Amino acid sequence: MKYVEYPFSPLLRPFVNRIWEFEMDVPMGEVIHQPDCCTATTHFMFNLKPPFKTKRGDKLIQANATNLITPLTQPVTNILEGTHLHIGVEFTLTGFHRMWQIPLYAINLSDTALYDLQAVIGPEALRLYNQLGEAQTTAQRFGLTEKFLLRHINSKPTKAGLVEGFEQLIQQEPESVLIDKLIKQLYCSESTLLRHFKEQLGISPKTYLRIQRFQRVRNQLLEKPDWRWQTGLVNVDYYDQAHFIKEFVAFSGRSPSSYKNSMNEVEDFFSKCFH
């Protein structure tokens, strides 16, 4: 298995968190069922080998050759078999919307987790996919992806705004987040904030805060071998242990202990790419 991140142009930093390539060969006859947690960010993913399947609840979803992955509000399970080669782009919180000006509420209406990128942004997605398929090396594929993204900066993306301001305030005091307090600091109404979130992320501010809180505690769980909920919950604003476990199961599909004990090489890849 190979996972590589690309040190892309600083010009993309306001819009893109990472560009990565993932390659894996699942032994013949084996199938890996890999859980994937909820995330508040938007991604592009190009499947250069036969697309995988993913399961959301009881629904089996076939991935596309070119995919737009909107914020995941329910955990999914990726079903991996055969050979995999994926190129991915993780956008900043509103990076996709700022570069393409496509409202996510218009996309994020169905029960799927994967949308056909060609249907969303048009034939340029297929052109890039074909170019990636013809490229011979990882460096060439990264270069093509970076060039594709840089063209959209030249198309005059929208400026950072209310959602970014909301995110910055959360980063300043992540342990004590109250929406009413943030709204006052941003000098906006609750309905205005909701409209901006729905348009740029496809989810509400409350859902975003819940996912961010889950991600913080998940990172603590993985980074600190001696992590205990009695001390960790002080910094992530859960009411009690029962509330913490309920939220963790809702966003990961597993209890905290099961999640930590199941960590492996493939799980580590998904925790890097989709968070």
**pLDDT averaged over consecutive 10-residue blocks of the chain (275 residues)?**
92 96 87 81 93 79 90 84 92 93 78 83 97 97 97 72 86 74 87 92 90 84 71 64 85 83 64 57
Closest CA to 218 of 15, 1, 36, 32: 36
| CATH pick for 2-157 out of 2.70.98.60, 3.40.50.11030, 2.60.120.10, 3.90.580.10 | 2.60.120.10
pLDDT at residue 271, rounded to an integer: 60
This prediction has a pTM of 0.87
Determine how β-strand 16-25 pairs with β-strand 2-5. Answer: antiparallel
Closest CA to 245 of 235, 259, 225, 231: 259
pLDDT at residue 82, rounded to an integer: 85
Domain boundary assignment for the chain: 2-157
